[in-house]
A and B are shown apart, each in its own frame.
Chain A
Amino acid sequence: MISLSGVTKAFQRRTVLDDIFLSVEKGERVALVGSNGAGKTTLIRCLLGEYTFEGSIAVGGLDPRKHRGAVLGRVGFVPQIPPPLKMPVGELVSFAAALCGTKPQRMIGIAEDLGLDYAKIQRLPFVRLSGGMKQKMLISIAFGRDADILIMDEPAANLDPQARHIFFRQLAERKERSVMLITSHRLDEVASLVNRVIEMDQGKIALDDRVADDIDLTGVWRCEIDLVRPEPAFARVMEEWLFLPSADGNSWSGQVNGPDRLRFLSVLTRYAGLVGSMKMSEDRGGR
């Protein structure tokens, strides 16, 4: 579905992408990881037809630069840094929907699923929304149309647990019929969402590996934690994960999204000295 052949991109004399060969097929969910300056964003911009480059890129057999309409009509893109658009949210949705040949209501539906009160924000300038709200809006615009190629730059970074669950569910619904390219500078952020990992380093592909694909994206896990003593800093973190405390503040319980387990455990390691015991089991009832 996506094929890169000898793609090289240089800015003045600095080579940012160095002779990249890559092929991604339908059903593949690729984590594109690497440190800052590895070339992830440049690769994405080449794929979106925004940069000129040496070599060739074909998306569904078409050059994204020469056939922008046909290629980008299939691409849902969520950037890492939301654009500072001064236009009202409603105007952005109408513009994107009209260009993509879909109904604004589809995008609005996903926005509301993600927890946005669309009626309240539609007249607000996009730039005035909080980081999480902007992310939710951009995800809604990317998912609220017939895109079978999803390119997302740290898409869930600013989402609350509830919204992350909805986001993972949306990904799960599309995983068989789409190609997903999810970038992050940390693998643990996206590892559970993907079945292939590509690591970039100094403009080259340093690692290209298939990974186990048996995590249920929509699964939810019940977690109970007992502490050796209450701690305000720990309480603040647990509240962010929407966990509830016991009356004495010594125990916390709540739900963790399946794909977020690794992330949750890495948060807990910061408080290893406080945790007396913990139990985690799949919650069949869901959220």
Chain B
Amino acid sequence: MSNGDIDARFPLELEAPRFGLKKPEARFDVQGDMGDDARIATAMKNFVRDFGAVAATYMESCIHCGMCAESCHFYVATGEAKYTPIWKLEPFKQAYKREMGPFAFFFRTFNLKKRTTVAQLKEWQELIYDSCTMCGRCTMICPMAIDIASLVGLARHGMAQAGLVPHELWGVAERSDREGSPLGATPKVFKERCEWLADEYEVSIPVDKARANIMVTMSSIEIMKYPQSIVATAKVLNHMGADWTFRSDGYEATNFGMLSGNAQWQKDISLRLINAAIACGAELLILPECGHAYGALRWQGANVYGKPLPFKVRHISEFLAENLQNGRIRVQPLAKTMTFHDPCQVSRRGGAMEAPRQAIRALGAELVEMKETGGLNWCCGGGGGVVTIHRADPIRYKAFQIKMKQVEDTGAEVLTSTCSNCRQTFDDGQAHFHWDKTMTSLLELVADNLAEAPSERPSAVK
């Protein structure tokens, strides 16, 4: 397929509460024209490609207690047994036991585990992609502490190479690899947006400085749907007097290569950021309000690169918390009650759980925690690429109702988070349910409440 054909088959939707691909009239959920044997062999080869002692331990350890179901928003919201997290891996468990485990010989010889088929994998596509946000809540309940989300990630490697990625997710991932952004935020578009925003909001937005201490990245959702986040970022960094820049050769932090399971695309996308940060000599790379971008670069970036990164990687919430606490960012008190939605990949799985709370307290707001919060927070239902998949909408909306209730129960005036993908999932849920709560960005709240005359402060960063 030519690029034009791909664009025609996978057109973007940039006007709805949720940005992504338009709802397809005809779905193309199978890519390439491999035969069944080749497809299954490819799926399994790539599933086990990064298989080590950790994944094998998890594959061997399930005791079939079924408790993981009770932690999963898709099971709890629907009551359908097929959404049990460990069941989502069944064909891969079957293949592991038959082909790779310590007793594979017996399983094969006596045909105790059947050969996984392409039909099975096609059936499981819905479970591996549409109904798993890789939020990792099931890891928290599993009595064996099996990290099912990481296994789903490996299963997606197999599915992606075998050409079994859902239509929308393949479409945005391919565009991301080809154009540098899943939502059409090409380098040209990004630079034009920055110029326009700089004029419109009378704020300096440095792009492509040759040298800078800090390189800042954005999510395509922010660039296209919430461009005020770019302004907020600039306002905060300028307020601090920081030496920073955006780079048109490395600005897009989302990694749909990772979400779709395409390891090569994941690497390509991460290397753009890494190489850009090295090129401008950055000591710090700030990741935007995006959940999976944190997992992709903070925790997997160096491993994709093959050695430690020569700069630090921090989420914007960590950066805000640190500089609010040390006084380099000064704010006016925001006397409101506020509840915080933890983005799974930053909080539960990323470890940056305290930072946003420190920032909220530094803002002077009263934090009202949800009943299940921090590491046990309920996912919004849109992570892991799920929000892009139209086919998943019915179960996603059901899962979102858990989140709505959590928010309602707090009675807080302001709802905030630090992930633009969660934010657009909330926007979409808000529109669907005609809900009166709007998700806000913690970064924008900080930027909107900066204290005046920063240049007079002795603590400003030179």
A, B assembled together: no
